[in-house]
Amino acid sequence: MLAAQPGIEVVGEAADGEEAVRLVRELRPGVVRMDIRMPLPDGLAATRGITGDASPDGVKVIMLTTFELDECVFEAIRSGASGFLVKDTEPEELLRAVRAVVHGHALLSPGVTRRLIAEFAARSREPSGSEALGQFTEREREVVALVGIGLSNEEIARRPVVSPLTAKAHVSRAMVKLGARDRAQPVVLAYESELVRPGWLGSVPGAPR
């Protein structure tokens, strides 16, 4: 299905995590669709290998999992994956996901990814993002919180927190300070540092469901 789409070329296919890491370094794809249940090693370890310093710059990983909550998914996003899809995802959604991550967007809205991140954060014993948060200005913290509830740059600019001219700049500076590959990392930070807490999605006006 992917190979039949204009602008998409399938350059490799791996049977296990070790082969996936090797092929990524050899073929330098733009996007990797990784099964979290990959063997030898599993998808989480393979994702760390792909998104680590030895991997080609810019490669994006989309995790594939079942709907059942799996804390490996949260760890994968924190390690650099750009998001994840459930295994019964419609073909159109998979195509949209591939194109989205190529352009630097994380699979965090609408729907399942953001809800799962909230649930994983609720299970955490204590906030763990305070150190990273210390490098942000007060305005950047406000913007990261809005990114955390799933708002786009355009939606942030329509709120009273920042003007349209500065919304994108604040998001960009926050991502640079985090060394973030895409918007997934600021979202994780927002939950880990409790800038955003589970349950806020339904209480913040304009937040996507």
Considering the entire predicted model, what is its pTM? Answer: 0.64
The pLDDT score that the predictor gives to residue 10 is: 95
Q: Is residue 6 part of a domain?
A: no
Q: Are residues 142 and 63 in the same domain?
A: no
Q: Which two tokens stand for residue 187?
A: 């979202």
Q: Is residue 3 part of a domain?
A: no
**Scanning the structure block, which residue is given the tokens 């924190």?**
78
Q: Please give the Cα distance from 184 to 200 (Å, whole number).
A: 18
Q: Is residue 61 part of a domain?
A: yes
Task: Determine the angle formed by the axes of helices 184-192 and 138-148, rounding to 10 degrees.
Answer: 100
Range of the domain at 85: 17-107
Q: Is residue 177 part of a domain?
A: yes
Instruction: Give the domain CATH number at 193.
Output: 1.10.10.10
Q: Is residue 208 part of a domain?
A: no
- Encode pLDDT of 127-183 as tens digits: 555 677 788 888 888 888 888 777 777 778 887 666 767 888 888 888 888 877 677
Q: Please give the Cα distance from 161 to 82 (Å, whole number).
A: 26
Helix (H, G, I), strand (E, B) or coil at 61: strand
Q: Is residue 113 part of a domain?
A: no
Q: Are 196 and 203 in contact (CB under 8 A)?
A: no
Q: Are 196 and 145 in contact (CB under 8 A)?
A: yes
Total domains in the chain come to 2
Q: Please give the Cα distance from 19 to 51 (Å, whole number).
A: 15
Q: How confident is the model at residue 207 (pLDDT cuts 50, 70, 90)?
A: very low
- Encode pLDDT of 137-146 as tens digits: 888 888 888 8
Burial of 111 (0-12, 13-18, 19+ CB in 10 A): middle
Q: Please give the Cα distance from 44 to 100 (Å, whole number).
A: 21
> b/e per residue, 38-73, with b = 16+ CB within 10 A?
beebbbbbbbbbbbeeebeeebbbbbbbeeeebebb
In DSSP terms, 33 is beta-bridged to 62
Q: Please give the Cα distance from 178 to 198 (Å, whole number).
A: 22
Taking the CA of residue 77 as centre, how many other CA atoms within 13 Å lie in the half-sphere pointing to its CB? 31
- Encode pLDDT of 96-116 as tens digits: 888 888 877 666 544 455 565
